[in-house]
Chains A and B, each alone.
Chain A
């Protein structure tokens, strides 16, 4: 190490070890979960050799399958609805004129990001029973749409903020009316943000536990809630296998979203 090179925080002694420990701390539980999903023993934490039987069992479990189907239905409905609602909101906040209460509107839309989830969960439960709404899975979907909107909006707003308004002004200048500007210029350019927002909404919905636990009726259980129920009856590798499948789906969605975003950025970087 040469003093002439000046201070470089990456050369701090022990940084490598520290970084490794952080990764172990964060990812060890996930590794354990995935490894024991391939455990032949029927005790979750005693290794009995390699096997995929718990995956077969998890996939053959009808209740588990129903919960997974519910999860996907809720996630798809919540993703589509939240994305369609977040898109105009993002445009209004980033491209619209200043309006009275704009700051308040921004705060209110973002509130589910900062409010403790238990508060949202209880509020949603109380609200649904107060108005007597009993739509089964529909209740779950409605609750998910609401808390997915701010997540869907985050990447859209970030995208709009990095797009120069000059490009949209150029379209306006070249005889495009407001709708044509949106359809031909704004939407294609912000598409990576829309896709990323939709993916984020999908993941947040798929992984949600607390709100779903409060709102879901017996027949409207989603995968995370069902898995929690399984664990209460004793931890078997079947729960590990189901959780591993959920993990794989989540990671895939995030990776796809990242790739789409990156491709869009390269297209726009002029």
Chain B
């Protein structure tokens, strides 16, 4: 049964008022019943995290990790099997989606095809019963914010994908929500437009001061835009922190491999007490055979312009990759070498839960 607590429950918590988070997800699990007698799916497994006011927060993980489910629970389209979700200290689980001060930008945009751009943007404000003059001003301001001036009377079908995307942002931001949820909003755009919209999203967040929660499977996108990232896998949060922190000090083997690239070596082989160590390819070095390090054989050399990639097979099994600024003259596949790294480059990482 779902545990529900009153709005006062948020005030009795042990967290000091000054550090009260905007969103507090506490021990949330979501189990989907299997269809036609199939096995049930545990989409979220005892997830707890806090989102601060005005931050750009990202839920990052591969498909099926539960990130979209968590977003839908906050929006109110799904109900958790266990746990609580508080917004400004108030339990929002009893509230239907239309009573939550939270708006969503859908992956499919989900614009209203029978309404014009201006009518789409005005929809939320009108449902909130704002006076007509205020709605008009706010719609104009939002359309200017997303730079769609002149397209107010178009229908969504008459817009390009990027323009539809901007309407979706304007529509969701117009009611000035406490929280904006973005479900892989850039995944339908081509690469060039996606890079452009990443900057645009950062600008929108800065200018509106609204807290953004982004769901994505694109680690570059997450690193580029987020204040903090929660890396998820199989319904669990593996690590939560600032982008640099997650990149430099990955907590588990999966995080090290998913965020950027990493060579994962068993701790025992390199004298580390941790189960594994992760070494970034750009910090991996290549020395002549016999030097201190791991004996290896070069299997492939890939010239990338600015860098050169060296793939190596370790003598004791396993593979490593080095990404060097300066190519090693005469080093070709088949050569025996030693793979090494500076002491501070080997990050101890835990096995995944």
Distance A176 CA – B100 CA, assembled complex (angstroms): 11
Is B96 located at the chain interface by the 8 A CB criterion?
A: yes
Is B98 located at the chain interface by the 8 A CB criterion?
A: yes
Distance A167 CA – B110 CA, assembled complex (angstroms): 5
Asked if A172 contacts B114 (CB within 8 A), the reply is no
- Which of A164, A177, A184, A268 lies in contact with B98, CB distance below 8 A? A177
**5 chain-A/chain-B pairs, Cβ below 8 angstroms:** A167-B110, A170-B171, A173-B104, A175-B98, A180-B127
Closest to B114 in A: A188
Asked if B106 contacts A170 (CB within 8 A), the reply is yes
Given contacts A175-B124, A185-B112, contact A270 B157 (CB under 8 A): yes
Residue among B77, B106, B110, B164 with max Cβ neighbours from chain A (10 Å): B110
Is B258 located at the chain interface by the 8 A CB criterion?
A: no
B interface, how many residues as a size bin? 20 to 34
- Which of B77, B96, B108, B155 lies in contact with A164, CB distance below 8 A? B108
Is B128 located at the chain interface by the 8 A CB criterion?
A: yes
Asked if A174 contacts B124 (CB within 8 A), the reply is yes
Specify which chain A residues have a CB less than 8 angstroms from the CB of B110 in the assembled complex.
164, 166-167, 169-170
Is B75 located at the chain interface by the 8 A CB criterion?
A: yes
For A243-270 the 0/1 string (1 means CB < 8 A from B) is 0000000000000000000000011111
Asked if B127 contacts A175 (CB within 8 A), the reply is yes
Is B80 located at the chain interface by the 8 A CB criterion?
A: no
Distance A189 CA – B113 CA, assembled complex (angstroms): 8
Closest to B106 in A: A166
Specify which chain A residues have a CB less than 8 angstroms from the CB of B75 in the assembled complex.
169, 173
For B116-135 the 0/1 string (1 means CB < 8 A from A) is 00000001100110000000
Asked if A270 contacts B113 (CB within 8 A), the reply is yes
Is A171 located at the chain interface by the 8 A CB criterion?
A: yes
Known: A167-B112, A175-B99, A267-B113. 6 other contacts (CB 8 A): A169-B110, A172-B96, A189-B113, A189-B114, A266-B157, A270-B156
Specify which chain B residues have a CB less than 8 angstroms from the CB of A266 in the assembled complex.
157
Specify which chain A residues have a CB less than 8 angstroms from the CB of B281 in the assembled complex.
none
A interface, how many residues as a size bin? 20 to 34
Distance A174 CA – B113 CA, assembled complex (angstroms): 15
- Which of A164, A172, A267, A269 lies in contact with B97, CB distance below 8 A? A172
Specify which chain A residues have a CB less than 8 angstroms from the CB of B66 in the assembled complex.
none
Closest to B155 in A: A267
Residue among B75, B96, B97 with max Cβ neighbours from chain A (10 Å): B97
Specify which chain B residues have a CB less than 8 angstroms from the CB of A188 in the assembled complex.
114
Asked if B164 contacts A270 (CB within 8 A), the reply is yes
Specify which chain A residues have a CB less than 8 angstroms from the CB of B76 in the assembled complex.
172-173
Distance A189 CA – B103 CA, assembled complex (angstroms): 22
Query: How many whole Å from B38's CB to the nearest CB in chain A?
Result: 14
Query: For residues 148 through 173 of chain A, which have their beta carbon under 8 Å from a beta carbon of chain B?
Result: 164, 166-167, 169-173
Specify which chain B residues have a CB less than 8 angstroms from the CB of A267 in the assembled complex.
113-114, 155, 157
Distance A34 CA – B172 CA, assembled complex (angstroms): 59
- Which of A167, A169, A174, A180 lies in contact with B77, CB distance below 8 A? A169
Asked if A268 contacts B127 (CB within 8 A), the reply is no
Asked if B97 contacts A173 (CB within 8 A), the reply is yes
Specify which chain B residues have a CB less than 8 angstroms from the CB of A269 in the assembled complex.
157
- Which of B97, B155, B157 lies in contact with A169, CB distance below 8 A? B97
Distance A172 CA – B98 CA, assembled complex (angstroms): 5
Closest to A166 in B: B110
Distance A77 CA – B123 CA, assembled complex (angstroms): 36
Specify which chain B residues have a CB less than 8 angstroms from the CB of A180 in the assembled complex.
127
Distance A49 CA – B103 CA, assembled complex (angstroms): 73
Closest to A177 in B: B98
For B167-198 the 0/1 string (1 means CB < 8 A from A) is 00001100100000000000000000000000
Distance A173 CA – B110 CA, assembled complex (angstroms): 11
Closest to B127 in A: A175
Asked if B114 contacts A174 (CB within 8 A), the reply is no
Query: For residues 271 through 289 of chain B, which have their beta carbon under 8 Å from a beta carbon of chain A?
Result: none
Closest to A188 in B: B114
